[in-house]
Chains A and B, each alone.
Chain A
């Protein structure tokens, strides 16, 4: 079984991104890393390979040439080869464009399983996996906390509101990874050295016959309003009174 797994380059979620004077993100001095949710996907793919259930793990990233580093990280964790779909500017991309580009890679590689993070921690769109499902026509199991591959099916334990639900999806299938899927390994030095020798192909949107024409564009950034100071209530009755009459959130 061939597994395709995504690796997006994102601003390190531990750094606080600031705005510059003109309402743009100030990205000087920020560090980038592999999207944590993609890390779960990569780990799961590598585990499938170690368990003998996958033959090849291909990691794909859509982004500028800088994204090669995130592909290398995934290769250092154990993926076999990488594909970068290179664009000039990250601003050229929106979730649908990314899904189309990944679909282009899916058509070329014909993987049986496609693993994505449930979302990328930069824009938190949570859309690419689902859109890819529509474009490919494959079944999907989103927000996976557990994944088993058996007899041509992916059995996906999903995290849903108020609990969990299992779905059984025929392969080829799309699975998006949630937090509890696994514990991603650290890229070790021997893994990093091996990754240097693994193939990394660079494709353009043209190679995939996809027109890059984002329908969603960022027009500006602003910080959320400062939170007003809280008040201390004397008892539950006062709390209910305020929720009902001031905040008007209960009837």
Chain B
């Protein structure tokens, strides 16, 4: 029995392989080019939609592909074989943008906004973070003020993945005084007057994914673009963080696993002092340690995903998985670069990119410190 048989049923295995196949054919050959270009072709969304990848984790009834936490993890793991976290993230922003829309059960909004995104015809982004607030979600200062049948939105959003070319920005706005109960999501359409991309941000890693600073200047948003009840935004954020963090854990172990594979290959081929560097015990032990970390991180994440799929409330464990995988990704890619020597510092090496991409994992989607805060609190400390 293989590793996967312990955790996955046949369908989940097939999904993992299908996404991997997609990544090896549609992403990997172009990854270097797209990373340098800091974008990827829009048509990749269409291809991923046709392959059913975009809608994983959302019910078929709303245009998704079905599946839950385990399937989401498998799609992330499979897509990472493209070796570009940026592309995986770019394709995946709907996974964080649309849950609130779908959970609103507002069929008009779902048909108009969510379906075209699942079909790969439109791009969606989630906008919570602002220039002045990140970890402290309740500190959001972008306002939405009722004006007749509309809301007028003013403010700025920061670090928004896919924000440069998103058609729909699902933005958290302040609609009332109450710290948590005064926040609401709105779908802001990029062609509404007053919406602008202030900056396309230059990043260390995740380069194929565009990241924006956005400005909303008196944007008139019709009430029909309000997501869920007035004041439901903060709770929607908290609810959906769990899946986002599970996916980020997936990025983590998948990054580490790729770096490990690349390193094993390199250590077999590269010679120093007249023999392959694999012949040095130091190299082998390093790889053994890397493999141990990858296996532990992956096993733990699979376990958390299955518990989530069974309906368990795993806030503590998913926070642990996110932190553990982020750390493993950084440690393993660091050693992978080391094993590659000078070549590990060159853009032409996959591990060079992976090491840059890994650096964001302890920051994005809730920092390492915030994760520890959650874990500690739930431990009753």
Name A residues whose Cβ lies closer than 8 Å to a Cβ of B: 14, 31, 33, 68-69, 72-73, 76, 185-193, 195-196
User: A189 to B17, Cβ gap below 8 A?
Assistant: no
11 A-B residue pairings within 8 Å (CB atoms): A14-B24, A72-B14, A186-B53, A187-B18, A188-B51, A189-B66, A190-B65, A193-B11, A193-B66, A196-B10, A196-B11
The answer for the CA separation of A76 and B71 in the assembled complex, in Å, is 15
| B residues 300-349 in Cβ contact with A at 8 Å | none
**Chain B interface, >50% SS class:** helix
What 10 pairs between A and B have smallest CB-CB spacing? Answer: A188-B52, A186-B51, A189-B65, A187-B18, A192-B11, A186-B18, A192-B14, A189-B52, A189-B67, A186-B22
Known: A186-B51, A188-B51, A190-B52. A73 touches B14 (CB 8 A): yes
A241 CB to closest chain B CB, in angstroms?
34
User: B65 to A188, Cβ gap below 8 A?
Assistant: yes
User: B60 to A188, Cβ gap below 8 A?
Assistant: no
Known: A14-B24, A193-B66. A188 touches B18 (CB 8 A): yes
Whether B21 sits at the interface, judged by CB under 8 Å, is: yes
Of A31, A69, A185, A189, which is within 8 A of B10 by CB? A69
Known: A14-B24, A185-B51. A190 touches B66 (CB 8 A): yes
| Residues on A with beta carbons closer than 8 Å to the beta carbon of B15 | 187, 189, 192
The answer for the CA separation of A30 and B18 in the assembled complex, in Å, is 16
| Closest A residue, CB atoms, query B67 | A189
| Residues on B with beta carbons closer than 8 Å to the beta carbon of A14 | 24
The answer for the CA separation of A69 and B16 in the assembled complex, in Å, is 13
A31 CB to closest chain B CB, in angstroms?
8
User: B14 to A187, Cβ gap below 8 A?
Assistant: yes
The answer for the CA separation of A33 and B52 in the assembled complex, in Å, is 19
| Closest A residue, CB atoms, query B81 | A14
| Closest A residue, CB atoms, query B26 | A186
B74 CB to closest chain A CB, in angstroms?
9
| B residues 49-80 in Cβ contact with A at 8 Å | 50-53, 55-56, 60, 65-67, 71
| Residues on A with beta carbons closer than 8 Å to the beta carbon of B51 | 185-186, 188
Q: Which of B11, B53, B65 has the most chain A CB within a 10 Å cutoff? A: B11
The answer for the CA separation of A31 and B16 in the assembled complex, in Å, is 12
The answer for the CA separation of A68 and B14 in the assembled complex, in Å, is 12
Whether B13 sits at the interface, judged by CB under 8 Å, is: yes
| Residues on B with beta carbons closer than 8 Å to the beta carbon of A190 | 52, 60, 65-66
User: B17 to A33, Cβ gap below 8 A?
Assistant: yes
Of B11, B13, B21, B67, which is within 8 A of A186 by CB? B21
* Apart from the given pairs A185-B51, A193-B11, 7 other A-B contacts in the complex at a CB distance below 8 Å: A69-B10, A73-B14, A186-B52, A186-B53, A187-B15, A189-B52, A190-B65
B7 CB to closest chain A CB, in angstroms?
16
Interface mask (B1-32 → A, CB under 8 Å = 1, otherwise 0):
00000000011011101110110100000000
| Residues on B with beta carbons closer than 8 Å to the beta carbon of A196 | 10-11
| Residues on A with beta carbons closer than 8 Å to the beta carbon of B10 | 68-69, 72, 196
The answer for the CA separation of A185 and B25 in the assembled complex, in Å, is 12
| Residues on A with beta carbons closer than 8 Å to the beta carbon of B17 | 31, 33, 73
The answer for the CA separation of A197 and B22 in the assembled complex, in Å, is 24
A70 CB to closest chain B CB, in angstroms?
10
The answer for the CA separation of A188 and B13 in the assembled complex, in Å, is 12
The answer for the CA separation of A187 and B71 in the assembled complex, in Å, is 13
| Residues on B with beta carbons closer than 8 Å to the beta carbon of A72 | 10-11, 14
| Closest B residue, CB atoms, query A69 | B10
User: A191 to B24, Cβ gap below 8 A?
Assistant: no
User: A189 to B56, Cβ gap below 8 A?
Assistant: yes
B113 CB to closest chain A CB, in angstroms?
21
| Residues on A with beta carbons closer than 8 Å to the beta carbon of B11 | 72, 189, 192-193, 195-196
The answer for the CA separation of A167 and B274 in the assembled complex, in Å, is 58
| Residues on B with beta carbons closer than 8 Å to the beta carbon of A31 | 17
The answer for the CA separation of A190 and B19 in the assembled complex, in Å, is 13
The answer for the CA separation of A31 and B18 in the assembled complex, in Å, is 13
| Residues on B with beta carbons closer than 8 Å to the beta carbon of A191 | 52
| Residues on A with beta carbons closer than 8 Å to the beta carbon of B19 | 186
The answer for the CA separation of A190 and B21 in the assembled complex, in Å, is 17
The answer for the CA separation of A108 and B21 in the assembled complex, in Å, is 34
| Residues on B with beta carbons closer than 8 Å to the beta carbon of A76 | 14, 18
A182 CB to closest chain B CB, in angstroms?
14
